[in-house]
Copies of this chain bind each other. A is one copy, B any other.
Amino acid sequence: MKNFIGIDLGGTAIKGGVFTREGERLCSMEIPTNVERGFEPIAQDIGQMIFQMAESVATGVVNEHITALSDVKMDKLDKNWLTDIASVGIGMPGITTGNTGFVLFCTNLGWTDVPLGERLREYTGLPIYVDNDATVAGFAESVFGITKGAKNSVFMTLGTGIGGGIIVDNHIYSGSHGAGSEIGHMIIGDNFYNCTCGRNGCFETFASATALVKYAEHRLENLQVGENSTLCEHYSKNNLTAKTIFDEAKAEDQLANEIVDRYTTYLAKGILNIYDILDPDIIALGGGLSKAGDFLLNKVREKVSKNVLVKSLKYGDIVIAKLGNDAGILGAAMLGLNYI
């Protein structure tokens, strides 16, 4: 059985790994992205990463972690190293056409309409697939993680923004132009500040980690006479984070609880929208905020179950994702399975 290469292409680093079909990692690699170089040099580096990782596995090195590109020129790389690679998948924070690997749009990298898949096919001759980073993480969960076995599932990352991964009939669903599953941008209310996309009311302006902190700042900057909170100290020390807010809520600080209450109310609204549109078997929450675990889950489940459209129906369960940060590279690697 051939192996699979996965790449997590981010604004800071490019991470890669070679995996068996069973998800065992045989080699890993990480280099800086250096976004300012633009598309072609970055594509070339990814091409070289593919060769170096494949070489490591082909030559029998065990579990190597490579941290730099070699000096070997692209045209001297040995395609025989690639013989045992089934395909290469790339996850990135953007809008792509999965099976062609065309990147329509990526804010973090400043890319619009670049032929990433085409270029890497030229370099390697391998099948190349490119999908959104939240989508590939959701796919990893559906192949190896918490949503395994579910025909239809939705994965959402609660981090800087909110990313989404939709699985329909055991396959990735990204819509007709690769612009679907952007659930962080569904409009769910009226908010006191605008989204980075320019619109008002996007789900991620209520229910991302950034949104949680922004609302806490907003409340702290508008404290009423007589109101006090342990959050004031975190705020004055520039230490107001999603974690400190959740910790103080657990410690029963009243303001922190009000802030978390608003947060979970809107997270529940977003989940209810997913129920009413997609009605999946299961919804998995990932990203930094999902580390709040049961404290978060219990509040959200309660608010969701009180407000479902059909009270007599048992909707899909809401759970915490399982694979953590590894989901990105692993899910990218497994893209080959999606497009078979």
Chain A residues at the B interface, C-beta cutoff of 8 Å = 95, 104-105, 112-113, 150-152, 164, 166, 168-169, 173-183, 185-190, 197-199, 201, 269, 272-273, 275-281, 307, 309-310, 312-316
Contacts and interface: CB of A to CB of B under 8 A. Distances in A.
A198 B180 CA distance: 29
A186 B105 contact: no
Given A277-B183, A277-B278, A279-B179, A95 B313 contact: yes
Contacts of A273: 186-187, 273
A218 to B, nearest CB: 17
A10 to B, nearest CB: 19
B176 A151 contact: yes
* Copy total for this chain: 2
Contacts of A269: 187, 201
Interface centre among A152, A185, A199, A276 (most CB of B within 10 A): A276
B175 A112 contact: no
B187 A113 contact: no
A314 B175 CA distance: 13
A193 to B, nearest CB: 16
Contacts of A175: 152, 278-280
